[in-house]
Amino acid sequence: MHVIESVSGVFWQFDLARELVSRGYLKRIYSSFPWQRLRREGVPKELVRTFPWVHGPWMMINRYNKYLRIPKHINRQILHANITLFDSWVASQIEECDALVGLSGSALKTGRVVQSRGGKHVCDRGSSHIRYQDAILNEEYAKWGFSFATIDPRVIAREESEYHQADAIFVPSGFAQRSFIEMGVAAEKVKTIPYGVRLERFQRTGEPPKDFFNVMFAGTVSLRKGIPYLLEAFRMLRHPRKRLRLVGPVEAETRSFLKGQNLDGVEILGRMSQPKLAEYMSTSHVLALPSIEDGFGLVMAQAMACGAVIVSSENTGGPDLYRNGTEGFIVPIRSAEAIAQSLQELAEDQALHQRMSEAAMARVKQLGGWHDYGEKCANHLKQLTQA
């Protein structure tokens, strides 16, 4: 079986690429990133082809956007140009293969070329259905008095064309799969394959303190991730010495929202290296991810590997990763009360926390990391190409 991947950027596609290389299946991976960025991903250079001429400058523009003040609509135009030009270039270069695994939104033309030669096109989507995502985030931002930067209609149309065209759609969670079915995509077309975690990078390096109850959030500090509900739940938590640590970049709207909030006991820590992240996860009692919409939430598996108990919403990959009440708690979206109740149980019952922490570490080791993810992807690809 010969597989080619196409990805605008890196994402989990290079984790899959390493697994396909180890099995002798990867023929090529195309990316819009320059090789200088890709060399760290561990895929042999001879298997990588790049088209960085739009994405590279776009990355530089966004890095210095606070100084250059490039309007959002210009950024949107650059992003759209990157996706369409990259796809056209890959379509003109791609060799014959049994299957193409293309990141959603960036392989419409390429998928058609592969199919015209008798190969299969897999659309690899890391989140919920794009129209579902756009609708629920518009709703959430409006609730808090903000305007959501609606997804470019051209991108929505392009992705939906890919969903229709593809022979299969890979998603990382049951929640993402449900969103596709809700939007009218046939259930048998959507394959749920939860992501892995690099266990060599995430291991317990310390212990949560006895005299503090540490709650942690990791990811973009945003309305999408349910930050208002987490803050409210933290305020409801009854504990004499509690701390909420928010790790990750802060979205502009959330920064504005936070100005009007009571932030007693809240630490806003910004971006963090992976070794430091593992250290903070190890010393946290809980990793909370109450997202409104989250295709998976890789930080949950990382935190489990470090011994943190997870409290996540049902609109994440939580239900695919762990069992409610055993390794963590799964709560409804937009429910500060449910988050607070879960935190309270863990804060009041040290024995419960210890049991769930040990269960979380054991559970994530059973999941097999990226090796297991690669095996499941390979099996689906075999079934698809042999049908």
pLDDT, one tens digit per residue, over 46-73 is: 999 999 987 777 777 666 665 566 677 7
* Alpha-carbon span 197 to 245, nearest angstrom: 22
Instruction: Break the chain down into helix, strand, coil percent, rounded to 5.
Output: 50, 15, 35
Determine the pLDDT at residue 68.
60
* pTM to 2 decimal places: 0.92
Determine the pLDDT at residue 65.
60
Picking from 297, 286, 147, 302, the residue whose alpha carbon sits closest to that of residue 230 is 286
Query: What is 213-366's CATH topology?
Result: Rossmann fold (3.40.50)
Q: What are phi and psi of 215, to 5 degrees?
A: -110, 140
Picking from 165, 169, 193, the residue whose alpha carbon sits closest to that of residue 181 is 169
Determine the pLDDT at residue 116.
98
At 123, the amino acid letter reads: C
First-to-last C-alpha distance (Å) of the chain? 13
Encode pLDDT of 176-217 as tens digits: 999 999 999 999 999 999 998 777 788 898 999 998 999 999
Determine the pLDDT at residue 69.
64
Determine the pLDDT at residue 77.
82
Comma-separated ranges of CATH 3.40.50.2000 domains in the chain:
3-196+369-386, 213-366
Give the list of residues 6+ apart from residue 31 with CB closer than 8 angstroms, or none. Answer: 6, 7, 8, 9, 10, 13, 38, 48, 49, 50, 51
* Alpha-carbon span 319 to 298, nearest angstrom: 13
Joined together, the tokens standing for residue 296 give 């998976």
Burial profile 283-317: b = 16 or more Cβ within 10 angstroms, e = fewer: bbbbbbbbbbbbbbbbbbbbbbbbbbbbbbbbbbb
Q: Are 45 and 21 in contact (CB under 8 A)?
A: no
The residues of the chain scoring below 70 in pLDDT are 61-70
CATH of domain 3-196+369-386: 3.40.50.2000
Instruction: For residue 21, give the 3-state DSSP assignment.
Output: helix
* Alpha-carbon span 220 to 99, nearest angstrom: 33
* Alpha-carbon span 78 to 76, nearest angstrom: 5
Determine the pLDDT at residue 26.
98
